[in-house]
């Protein structure tokens, strides 16, 4: 795919944009949301006049709707042809991919009917199967060029001499590969190691014994010896469950934190070289991991099929006693690695208790750089120790939270923050930190240790509003799930303070409570002086709109009984509460709305839909 993309770019025949899914990356790298954002950014850079589309109110809905609008605009015959490449569909959620393919098929059909030039190229492995109704399908392993590439690779990389026997081995290897390039790469390494003693007959026997199925080959590589199995397990855990891919230096010291924590100290590159670290990646993974050759190299499996092997059957076959909750166990191990590393003494660089320079200053940048050079894993360990603790949900965390040095952690976290607004005071509460980071499981544990949710302080004053400000729904639910057991004033005081507070998506507490059906919170907020019952969020929806869409009858009833509520409020797509209720089949809410004075029964959304035409 990369070759096709670069060659098309070189041809300079119109606008070319591309997106590459990456299952090992963050959420945006492995989701269609990230793909749409990337393609939009590239398209707007290539065709700046499309920015005017953003000023049209009816096009402020879902991202894919917005993207469809821009694609339609780009079909103007006066503009250049558009070519879109989307690589590695198999590394994205299959449901998202199916919706995306359907959308692109629709775009393609529209382009054909209008006589405009729109080309779309997907690439994917055979599994999971993606059904594409319109277009041409090309299976690379069935192409003559693919077999030629395999033969060329074997000729170049298989070093078993130039004898007649060697040529026979190369031919047999090519035939046995079945068109799987990764199999060829791995087997070449195995046979090269076998030939070091010049025993060509052993090479032939070794090739005969190697399984043809890729997953069976992985098993053989892993079972080849029983050395350093603890290294292997930790390697797999870090690559599978790290919050983000680790850089080479991070990976090495993350492993040391788990394997030999007593050996932890600041890094001296003359003592431990990057070559040493690269060798460790190879040995700890038994050759199934590598360091990428990108601008910012990270450690990853040599192929996505390795990840799939471990997540499906590989873990069960390697460690049958651990697979009941291997993910939770792994996060606990990674939590312990992070916790061990953040305990390192860095007072020689950043004395504890000494005020830090302004986060955006050059002094702060230099300080972060010097600390990271000496303690490469410290930034990751600081930012994600609590994340891994939260994800280790099969293990109790009371003791960990009791013993966690929050003030020291805040000092480290502040060091690595690049914006002052994201820093915390030394007095910040643990509950506030957990709420801000959406760590719902740890919030539940913290509330057992200290049930108060009215602890004041920091930028958003209360933990509840720290969660709301960052759109952390799980954290909000965890904070409110035991609301009945809290003193009523605890919640009421916070709601009084934040009655019209808006989150990063523009939602007020009333809007959030209406959307999620929290009747008691809706009731408390409506009883609060000054609450904006018609507050709109970034989608244009009001609390009544959210309650009607999601079928929350009690919330709708309370809102309709409130003076000043706008029963015909339109969101950015033109939908009214009645349209939402009809579209989602909420019959009782439709009846409530129809019985309300002033409701517009003939309201149309921007697509021309009415309650009658959209109703189920």
Report how many helices (DSSP H) and strands (DSSP E) the chain contains, helices first.
31, 5
Residue 358: other Cβ atoms inside 10 A: 11
- Cα 451 to Cα 478: distance, rounded to the nearest angstrom: 12
Q: Which two tokens stand for residue 579?
A: 């349209």
pLDDT of residue 382: 98
Predicted confidence (pLDDT) per residue in 203-236, tens digit: 989 999 999 888 888 888 888 777 888 999 999 9
- Cα 488 to Cα 615: distance, rounded to the nearest angstrom: 40
Low-confidence ranges of the chain (pLDDT < 50): 57-61, 483-488
Taking CB atoms within 8 Å and a gap of at least 24, the contacts of 24-28 are 24/239, 24/245, 24/300, 24/301, 24/304, 24/307, 25/244, 25/245, 26/244
Instruction: Count Cβ neighbours within 10 Å for each residue of 592-611 and write b for 16 or more, e otherwise.
Output: bbeebeebeeebbbbeebbb
DSSP string across 541-589: --HHHHHHHHT-HHHHHHHHTSTT--TT---TTS--HHHHHHHTT-HHH
Q: Give the predicted TM-score (pTM) of the model.
A: 0.72
pLDDT of residue 69: 59
pLDDT of residue 294: 80
DSSP string across 496-527: HHTTT---TTS--HHHHHHHHT-HHHHHHHHT
Predicted confidence (pLDDT) per residue in 535-548, tens digit: 998 889 999 999 99
Which residue, among 504, 511, 513, 508, has the nearest Cα to 480 in the 3D structure? 513
Evaluate whether 592 touches 561 at the Cβ level (below 8 Å).
no
What CATH number has the domain spanning 499-616? 1.25.40.20
pLDDT of residue 228: 83
Evaluate whether 513 touches 498 at the Cβ level (below 8 Å).
no
Which residue, among 586, 589, 572, has the nearest Cα to 616 in the 3D structure? 586
Evaluate whether 307 touches 360 at the Cβ level (below 8 Å).
no
pLDDT of residue 483: 46
pLDDT of residue 258: 96
Evaluate whether 63 touches 33 at the Cβ level (below 8 Å).
yes
Residues in the chain, total = 616
Residue 230: other Cβ atoms inside 10 A: 11
Q: Give phi and psi for 402, each to the nearest 5.
A: -65, -40
- Give the start-to-end residue ranges of the domains of the chain: 2-138, 141-212, 499-616
Which residue, among 507, 413, 517, 412, has the nearest Cα to 467 in the 3D structure? 507
- Domain 2-138: give its CATH architecture: 3-Layer(aba) Sandwich (3.40)
Q: Give phi and psi for 87, each to the nearest 5.
A: -105, 150
Residue 213: other Cβ atoms inside 10 A: 11
pLDDT of residue 237: 95
Which residue, among 1, 4, 35, 43, has the nearest Cα to 19 in the 3D structure? 35
DSSP 121: E
Burial of 163 (0-12, 13-18, 19+ CB in 10 A): exposed
């Amino acid at each position: 795919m990369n070759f096709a993309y670069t060659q098309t770019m070189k041809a300079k025949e119109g606008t070319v944009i591309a997106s590459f899914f990456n299952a090992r990356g963050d959420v945006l790298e492995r989701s269609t949301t990230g793909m749409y954002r990337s393609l939009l950014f590239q398209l707007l850079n290539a065709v700046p006049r499309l920015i005017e589309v953003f000023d049209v109110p009816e096009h402020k809905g879902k991202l894919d709707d917005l993207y469809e609008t821009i694609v339609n605009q780009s079909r103007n015959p006066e503009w250049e042809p558009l070519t879109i490449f989307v690589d590695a569909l198999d590394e994205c959620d299959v449901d998202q991919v199916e919706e995306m393919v359907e959308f692109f098929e629709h775009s393609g059909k529209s382009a054909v009917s209008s006589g405009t030039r729109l080309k779309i190229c997907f690439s994917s492995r055979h599994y999971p199967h993606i059904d594409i109704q319109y277009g041409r399908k090309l299976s690379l392993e069935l192409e003559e060029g693919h077999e030629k590439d395999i033969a060329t690779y074997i000729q170049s990389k298989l070093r078993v001499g130039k004898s007649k026997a060697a040529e026979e081995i190369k031919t047999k290897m090519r035939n046995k590969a079945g068109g799987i390039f990764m199999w060829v790469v791995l087997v070449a390494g195995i046979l090269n190691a076998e030939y070091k003693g010049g025993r060509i007959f052993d090479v032939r026997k070794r090739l005969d014994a190697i399984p043809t199925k890729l997953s069976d080959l992985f098993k053989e590589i892993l079972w080849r010896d029983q050395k350093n199995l603890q290294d292997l397990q930790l390697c797999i855990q870090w690559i599978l469950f790290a919050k983000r891919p680790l850089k080479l230096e991070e990976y090495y010291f993350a492993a040391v934190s788990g394997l030999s924590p007593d050996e932890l100290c600041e890094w001296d590159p003359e003592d431990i070289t990057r070559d040493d670290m690269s060798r460790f990646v190879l040995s700890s993974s038994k050759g199934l991991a590598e360091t990428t050759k990108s601008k910012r190299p990270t450690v990853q499996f040599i192929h996505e099929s390795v990840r799939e092997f471990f997540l499906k059957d590989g873990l069960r076959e390697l460690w049958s006693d651990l697979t009941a909750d291997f993910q939770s166990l792994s996060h606990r191990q990674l939590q312990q690695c992070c916790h061990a590393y953040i305990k390192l003494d860095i007072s020689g660089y950043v004395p504890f208790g000494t005020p830090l320079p302004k986060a955006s200053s050059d002094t702060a940048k230099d300080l972060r750089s010097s600390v990271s050079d000496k303690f490469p894993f410290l930034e990751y360990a600081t930012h994600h120790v609590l994340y891994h603790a939260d994800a280790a949900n099969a293990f109790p965390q009371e003791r960990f939270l009791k013993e966690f040095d929050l003030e020291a952690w805040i000092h480290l976290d502040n060091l690595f923050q690049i914006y002052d607004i994201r820093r915390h005071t030394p007095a910040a509460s643990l509950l506030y930190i957990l709420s801000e980071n959406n760590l719902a499981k740890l919030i539940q544990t913290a509330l057992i240790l200290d049930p108060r949710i009215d602890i004041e302080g920091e930028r958003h004053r209360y933990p509840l509003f720290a969660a709301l400000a960052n759109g952390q729904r799980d954290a909000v639910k965890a904070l409110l799930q035991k609301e009945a057991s809290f003193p009523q004033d605890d919640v009421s005081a916070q709601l009084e303070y934040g009655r019209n507070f808006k989150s990063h998506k523009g939602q007020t507490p009333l809007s959030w409570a209406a959307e999620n059906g929290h009747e008691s919170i809706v009731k408390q907020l409506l009883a609060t002086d000054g609450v904006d019952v018609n507050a709109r969020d970034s989608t244009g929806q009001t609390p009544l709109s959210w309650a009607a869409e999601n079928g929350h009858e009690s919330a709708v009833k309370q809102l309709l009984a409130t003076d000043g509520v706008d029963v015909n409020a339109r969101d950015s797509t033109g939908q009214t509460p009645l349209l939402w209720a009809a579209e989602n089949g909420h019959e009782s809410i439709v009846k409530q709305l129809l019985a309300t004075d002033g409701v517009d029964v003939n309201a149309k959304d921007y697509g021309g839909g009415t309650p009658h035409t959209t109703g189920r």
